[in-house]
Structure 1
């Protein structure tokens, strides 16, 4: 019986050692039609790791507006990227309704800028 457990353990360790865990794969998708690889932007990765998803979704209003609504409202200009970067860091209210967006003061300005740039890039 001990031999069975030993062989099972060795087989399990052997199989798991061949896994190819790469953190970037979480953010990579492949289109089956064109066999094209789409790499997520830095802003998209930062949003996925943050608390943004508690209030915002890509295409549906949750507590705050969807990212597509934001992209539709603000053209992708340096001025709008700077404005949204400030809003992400400082928070605010009144633009999209009475519910305020909480501040993210601990977020680096470059990270907030990447997030804003990604959101504005969603405009179709």
Structure 2
């Protein structure tokens, strides 16, 4: 019985990063244009994570794009500025997106 509980806990903790800040993304209205695994208006978070994974400064760069907006990286539809998102929350969101690949 204990082995089952441990295996379940390990499985849940292994998937935790993918959901670590999805609630924050939902509360900041990110999910209106993005999804974790498919393109909506903007690219899937997994695609963003894969594109910028391992790049120095990627987290800070993405955090600034969240706050200030962005254009031309993923096509003609610009991402509007999200001035309601604090720098700390933007950094959490960027760090979370970078865990998705």
TM range (shorter): 0.7 to 0.9
Which is bigger in relative contact order (C-alpha 8 A, separation at least 6)? Answer: 2
Structure-2 change in CA distance of 1:76 and 1:118 (3 Å): farther
The equivalent residue for 1:34 is 7
Cα deviation 1:11-61 (Å, max 9, x = unaligned): xxxxxxxxxxxxxxxxxxxxx8922144542x3321121211111011111
Correspondence 1:1-124 to 2 at 5 A: 34-36=7-9, 37-38=12-13, 39=16, 40-41=19-20, 43-77=21-55, 79-123=57-101
TM-score by length of 2: 0.80
Aligned residues: 91
| Structure with higher helix content | 2
Structure 1, unmatched stretches of 5+, are 1-31
Report the Cα distance in structure 2 between the residues aligned to 1:78 and 1:109, rounded to whole angstroms.
Answer: 18
RMSD between aligned alpha carbons? 2.0
Cα deviation 1:48-94 (Å, max 9, x = unaligned): 21211111011111100001110110014550001000000000110
Structure 2, unmatched stretches of 5+, are none
Structure 1 segments, 4+ long, off by >3 Å, are 37-40
